[in-house]
Chain A
Amino acid sequence: MSQAAQRSRYVLKRLLQAIPVVVAIVVVNFFLLQLAEGDAVDVLAGEAGSATPEYMAQLRQKFGLDQPLIVQLGVYMKNMLTFDLGYSFRHDMPVAQLVLDRLMPTLLLMVSTITLAVGFGIVLGLIAASNLNNWKDNVISVFALVSYATPLFWVGLMMIVVFSLKLRWFPTSGMENVAMFYEGWDRIKDIAHHLVMPTLTLSLFYLALYTRLMRASMLEQASMDYVTTARAKGLTERRIVFVHILRNALLPVVTMAGVQVGSLIGGSVIVESVFAWPGLGMLAFEALFSRDLNLLLGIFLLSALLVVAINLVVDLLYSFLDPRIEVG
């Protein structure tokens, strides 16, 4: 079988495997959320301030919240098949539309963060490992340690204080300056401008992690036999480091990054809140506090799909990087 055919079979297999996983996640999440006390009607009633029990019962009946749990679950699962994620009473909008609206900002933040963290992590790790124990290595290692130990929200707040309030280089919050009605390139520039600080904040921790991982991995690979072989072949140090060691050293970093992309969605709740970034994390946060179950389930489902998709991409990427990994 050709390699391409093998790969597509593998992708198909993995997608089929994902179905039960996603279903299980939805079922578990549904029941977990039911364990929380109160529902959307409690919140609506609480905010209205003067709801009678009759009105609340009426609301519950209208939203289907008076049905037995299993029926609610069944209805939800059936709707999901058509990607009808229900209706958010709080936002007065269909969940699917709400979630998809917020997906792009989150993806934007995730992609830029992971690119920055992995990219610079690899470069810094490489520099540190090739300058073992001299000042460059020490500076990078101390930087990694400090970033590693600093809480995300604190970094975010400090950046706002320094770069937005004092220096006025970057906007404090939001994704774009809506009031300016930018179009085309101007809009992209505006969004990029807004993106800088959230990305930096969110990537700092991961950057530190990948730097350390890459440094350790480079050092480990440098002591391998094939490096001695490469030296014995009379190759230049450049070639040995950038071709032989680097590619092998990347493998653990890619593995780690693959695992962590999923957790970035969680990590972004804090950053999105600090910078008022209109992403999924913010939405989840709001949904949680307003007991907006349907919305929360929608976000969970989307996150699960995202993680499954990312894992598949990472595994494929891995099989390209390491020929010893057989897809199948």
Chain B
Amino acid sequence: MNQSKGTTSADTRDESAEPVLSIEGLHVQLPLGSERAYAVEDVSYALLPQEILCVVGESGSGKSLTARAVMGLLPAPHVQYEKGRILFQGEDLVQASDERMRQVRGSEISMIFQEPMTALNPVMRIGDQIDEVIRFHEKLPGKRRRELALSLLEDVHLPDPPRIMSAYPHELSGGQRQRAMIAMALALEPKVLIADEPTTALDVTTQAQILHLIRELQVKHHTGVLFITHDIGVVADIADRVAVMQHGRIVEIDTVERVLNNPQHEYTRALIDAVPGLVPRPVKTDSGEAILQVRQLVKTYRSGGRFLGIGKPQKEVHACDQVDVVLNESETLGIVGESGSGKSTLARCIVRLHSTDSGEIVYRGQDLCPLDRAAMRPYRSKIQMVFQDPYASLNPRATVGRILTEGPKIMGESTREAENRAREMLELVGLDVRAFERYPHEFSGGQRQRIGLARALAMRPEILVADEPVSALDVSIQAQVLALLADIRERLQLSMVFITHDLRVAAQVCDRIAVMRLGKVVEQGPTAILFEQASHPYTQELLDAIPGRDWSRRRIEAARG
């Protein structure tokens, strides 16, 4: 798809055309007492027909609210339009009546959203949800509407459209739901499609397919696409032009080549530099001996029990199916895979949060699997976990001090010792010692992830199991946390199991990588070798799906001279 993009973008755009949508000096107010007065401040940009304009920025930059303002869907009464114009084909939508806006929405400007599960009504059939759009805008007999809906589902390459029509959202996969969403949005050939992070919740291979689909349909229907994303890689793949937003303002807007390869604004540069560069870590030659060996690990989830021999047989999910991985001393092992691959289950089994069905987890010669609670206790502190969600993984009712000292105290340290240790750890992860008395909600996502890390480190572990530790963070924060992890690992000589779905991050962090799919390890090896010559087709597929891969490669080449 990366090749096709280069040619299509040049063909479809017409620089001299009148913009189909143009935003002029838009101000959107935040409620009084917010961090800043405006969510969107003096934003102006124009979307040409048949182009893809990417609006890129971190969370809170106002990129989504601008789009919502265009749709007239600001979350009133908290967030309100203040001034500025939103011209759609010359008509100011800000002045338009409610009735007029209702006509525009869904037929002339339509929108797709980030989370295709929650964006579709869970108790309504897909066919009815598509039909609704058509029915509320066009006067067509039911039979024609059904034909149209079927052909739309065909257009977004969904298998067996009649079946999809009568399916409910939960019966489809994430990618299929997003395709249905796109079919719905394009039903009436809108002039403008607003895509608000449409691939963020999807797996990397699905993301590549959806991006390809959006590009394909954009060309076919001559739609102008306003594509909102936080992912520079996606921008590189799909954009014709890019607008970079920070704190509610546009800091830079230009063609994709110029913004990505020759950024003018300092923030754009920082944003681009924070993207892990897809340069795999060099092969580590001085790996110590194996500190942790997972042998033939099996973990199966069962559900749907039977009662008195009646009812459906059990459902079985093989989350880990004879998994073999080895972690050497002071090395980082990456476990890479898409959702449902069993990578998180593996992590939880290693930390012994889950029991295992069979197989061995050998730590320094001791198999941990048969150990009961008491026997496991001395090993608990040796293997510690850092969790994905920095918001959900810290007890909101406990002070940071308590979070950090609880573990060591259980392991028998005195209160004083534990508190001293906790303060040391706070410094180590780059937080103020005063954080000790405060509660988790007072910290930002990145800071909380640091607290989570400090909590794990306070136990004096030898192995750190990090389950997607940076995937909930903005890219600049992500870069900081990754740097911190690398630094600490080096200083404390930790070994690390690093679970991630993001191959960019894996390339930067991991010495060796194991690729998991449907509970099995399909391939493992040193990162550099895996990236150069993946032997398994699935690994190759994952590598090809990394957004912005070609752009990154060109950057690497350019950097080499």
Contact = CB atoms under 8 A, between A and B. Distances in A.
Interface of A: 9, 12-13, 16-17, 224-226, 228-236, 239, 243-244, 247-248, 321-324, 328
Contacts of A244: 121, 124
A54 to B, nearest CB: 51
B357 to A, nearest CB: 25
A234 B113 contact: no
Given A17-B307, A228-B113, A248-B122, A324 B105 contact: no
B111 interface: yes
Q: A-B pairs with the 4 shortest C-beta distances?
A: A234-B106, A234-B105, A233-B106, A225-B118
A196 B558 CA distance: 85
A306 to B, nearest CB: 22
B120 A226 contact: yes
Interface stretch (B129-137, B216-224, B259-267, B500-508): B129-137
Interface of B: 71, 73, 102-107, 110-111, 113, 115, 118-124, 132-133, 136-137, 168, 170, 181, 184, 304, 307-308, 310-312
Contacts of B105: 231-234
Nearest to A324: B170
Given A225-B115, A225-B118, A236-B102, A231 B73 contact: yes
Contacts of A9: 310-311
B168 A323 contact: yes
B174 to A, nearest CB: 14
Given A229-B120, A323-B123, 20 more contacts: A16-B310, A224-B118, A225-B113, A225-B119, A226-B120, A226-B121, A228-B73, A229-B111, A229-B113, A229-B181, A231-B105, A234-B104, A234-B105, A234-B136, A239-B136, A244-B121, A247-B124, A321-B123, A328-B304, A328-B311
Contacts of B168: 323-324
A258 to B, nearest CB: 17
B16 to A, nearest CB: 31
* B119, B121, B310 pick with most chain A CB within 10 angstroms: B121
A248 B123 CA distance: 7
A328 B313 CA distance: 10
A323 B169 CA distance: 10
Nearest to A228: B73
Given A224-B118, A233-B136, A234-B136, A247 B113 contact: no
A13 B311 contact: yes
Contacts of B73: 228, 231-232
B123 A232 contact: no
A229 B132 CA distance: 12
A115 to B, nearest CB: 23
A322 B71 contact: no
B132 to A, nearest CB: 6
A43 to B, nearest CB: 42
A235 B308 CA distance: 49
A324 B113 contact: no
B312 A328 contact: yes
A243 B307 CA distance: 37
Contact of A232 (B111, B122, B308, B310): B111
A151 B460 CA distance: 60
Nearest to B104: A234
